Structure formats: C-alpha cells, structure tokens
Amino acid sequence: MRHKTTSILLAAFFGALTAHAQLSIPSDGSDGAFNPTTNVEIDLGLATTALWNSPGSGNGVYDADKWAVVFKYSSVNIPAGVTVTFKNHPTYAPVVWLVQGNVTIAGELNLDGKTPIVDDAIGQLVPAEPGPGGYRGGPKGPIGTGSGLGPGGGNGKNYGEALFSSAYGNPQVIPLIGGSGGGQRWAGGGGGGAILIATTSTINLNGKINANGGGSPINGVTPASGGAVKLIAQIVWGSGQINAKGGAGNQFSVAGDYGRIRIEANSLSSAIGTTPETIAFPPANPPSVWPAANAPTARVISVDSINAPLDPRAPLVAAADVAIQNSNQVNILIETTNFPIEGAVQLNITPKFGDRSTLNATRLSGDITSAIWRVQTTLPQGFVTLQARATQP
C-alpha cells in the first residue's frame, strides 16, 4: 500500500499580486533617507537613549525597555558594491529599521559575528564581538577558556558547537535576539547579529543580508551560531540572499547552528535564497514588531543584596554591573512577570574564564503577575555573567 506524504516547508513563492491595505509601520522618517555611497560602519553607540518612537536625528534611538536601537528612515538604498556594517551599542542591542518608503539592498548589509583573535596571547583575552543583538564568544586566558555567552553558548569544556534554534528563540522572531557565542579549548566566535526591517511598501533585495556566526580560524576554536533576520513588507522582491548561518568549523569542531529568518510579506520572490530556508507569511496589520505588553519576562534583580541595574552592560573589563567581595555563598534574586509559577526558572552562570553552569531557582513569593525566585551559590572569582531563563510548563 502506497502511503501519502505532505510537505510542510514549501519553496518561497512569487504569485500574482493582489490588492492589500497599506501596512501600518510606526515610522516618522525622522532619521532621514539612508543612502550610503561608500562602505560605512554605523556606530550604534551614538544612538540617543529614549523611547523607541521618539524622533531620531540620523543616529537612531536606544530604548532600554525594548532592548533595541531603532532607526526611523524615510527610505533605504544600499547600492551595489557598498557594504554596511555596525559597531555595537554598549548593551549589544539588536537593530530595528522602520521605513516609510521602499528598501533597496543591492550591496551587503552585514551583521556577522567576529572570528576570535588567536594568533597572540593578548588577543585571546578579548571575547570575540558578536553582531548587534548577538552574544560574545568565550575568550582564552592563562587560567582557562571561557564559555560562549548567550542561552546556547558553547561550553569551554566541550568539543561542540554553540546552539541556537534547538536552545531558544521562536519562529516569529519575537523578541528579536541574535546568536550565541562559541567556546571550547580555544577562544570562540561571536554570535550572529539580529535585525528587523519593516516597510510600508517593498523590499528590493538583489544583494545580501548576512547575520552569520563567527567562524573557526584554527583547530579547536568553536564557531558561533547564526543570528536572526526579520523582514516585513508588502512585497519582498529580487534575487539576493539572506544568511543566518553558523560559523564554519573544521575537523575538530562542527559548524555552529543556524539562526532564524522570518519573512512577513504578501509576495516573496522565488529567486531570493535563504539559509536556513523559510517561506513567507502574510503580515498582520499593524505588524508585530515588539513583544506583547503582557509577555513573560525574567531578570536578575540583585546579587548578594546589591541591586542589579535595569539596563545591564556586562562590560567584562575594568568594571562590572554589580561588584561584590564575598567568597561565601550568596543569594541571587530573579524577578518574573506574567509567568506561571508552575514553570521552571534557571540561572546561567558564565565566568569570563571557565565553564558555564546552570542552576535551578526556587520561588520565594508572588504569583503569575509577579514573583521572586532565588538561587543560592558560591560564585567563581573574577568576572561572571548571569542570565536568567524561564520556561513555561
């Protein structure tokens, strides 16, 4: 008896155009027209700290609550032969482009994570930079090798890649989040960055949008995972390429995992290549740019009775968000909102030089609206990053 099968991932399509209401994109065009004529690096650290919908002045605005650097362009045109790259914001926030008119990318928009510096001892001490919205790679020092940062960062003691899709994220790419850093016996690559481009009209893509993880220059270096690219438009047209690949590996380390690509459009050209593969989904109107107001959250609020900042930076050099002097057991408090108390709350503890550990938190008080959870542990000496994660039942 012959069994029928059904494909669930279809090739991208470009069908007959039908009339659709103009998309409602919240852009006032206050950052002007973006039309570079030569290669340019956008310094995200120049963004004004403000609410995301505040007027821009060419450098965008950084909204700490949304954790994004937001540009509100009137139009975008990146011509052939021109590459646009980014210098990270101090918080490593992702990039959002809200555009009134058409977006044309004939050149390259590059949010790749960096390959670690491994040819000198000093260079290995510096974590490899991610693309904006991604996570740094694990450095290597005289006291050990660090794990990659991020929910799926490669662990310093393993010969494995930094995970992405199997570890976190969702197909809607809400919230916007990039790839995790690599980490192994040598320094690891930086995770691929994350960008959302939304326009009321058409995205013409004959060039490239890259958000790949940092690769492996030598044996023993763990590649990082790919980032995230989300496009929202009436039409996505052209014959270009969108890549959110993991960094390339070698005979001692497999390639990093893919990131995510999300295209919300009423028509998508079949000539556009995507890695990983994806299809188009009709956009909502207005489209979903940010998580819902009642979306679940989890954050570290204090360490050893010292309050953590609302907008942490994790500089890992010369300063820290929270400085403690305690070699004994400490209490680390985590706050969740809009999260069921039957769920699991965990804390990733990642030393700058050393292996990451993951500990379960115990709920102390509160309910689904707001709850406090505690982790009791002895922290490693030196710089340590803490990242809370909550998983619904």
Is the pLDDT at 2 greater than 80? The verdict is no
Q: What is the per-residue pLDDT for 55?
A: 96
In tens, the pLDDT along 47-76 reads 999 999 999 999 999 999 999 999 999 999
Average pLDDT over residues 270-287: 94
Tokens coding 98? 């809200």
- Within 8 A by CB and 6+ apart from 353, the residues are 139, 140, 141, 143, 144, 145, 146, 382
Query: Residue 383 — very low, low, confident or very high, per pLDDT cuts 50/70/90?
Result: very high
* pLDDT tier at 219, thresholds 50, 70, 90: low
Residue 218: band (very low, low, confident or very high) from pLDDT cuts 50, 70, 90: low
Q: By the 8 A CB rule, do 25 and 67 touch?
A: no
d(CA 34, CA 29): 10
Residues 29 and 71 sit within 8 Å (Cβ to Cβ) = no
Residues constituting the chain:
393
Lowest-pLDDT choice from 12-21, 51-60, 110-119, 241-250: 12-21
pLDDT score for 16: 35
- Amino acid 146: pLDDT: 83
> Are the beta carbons of 196 and 162 closer than 8 angstroms?
no
Nearest-5° angle of CA 334, CA 136, CA 377?
A: 35
Q: Dump the DSSP string for 11-30.
A: PP--------PPP------T
231 pLDDT higher than 50 = yes
Token digits for 181? 């850093």
Cα distance from N-terminal residue to C-terminal residue, the chain: 40
Q: Is the pLDDT of residue 292 over 50?
A: yes
Give me the mean pLDDT over the 123-129 stretch: 83
Rg (CA), the chain: 21
φ, ψ for residue 227, nearest 5 deg: -95, -140
Judged against a pLDDT cut of 50, whether residue 109 lies above it is answered with yes
**Sheet of 362-366: strands edge to edge?**
306-307, 297-303, 330-337, 370-377, 362-366
Number of helices (H) and strands (E) in the chain: give both, helices first.
1, 30
**Which residues make Cβ contacts (< 8 Å) with residue 320, sequence separation at least 6?**
314, 383
Q: Which two tokens stand for residue 45?
A: 């650290």
Is the confidence at residue 82, as pLDDT, over 80? yes
Q: Please give the Cα distance from 138 to 128 (Å, whole number).
A: 7
Two structure tokens written together for 146: 């660090």
- Give pTM, 2 decimals: 0.91
Residue owning tokens 């609410």: 51
Main-chain dihedrals φ then ψ at residue 67, nearest 5 degrees: 50, 65
Contact between 235 and 265 (Cβ < 8 Å):
yes
- Averaged pLDDT of the chain: 88
pLDDT at 121: 66
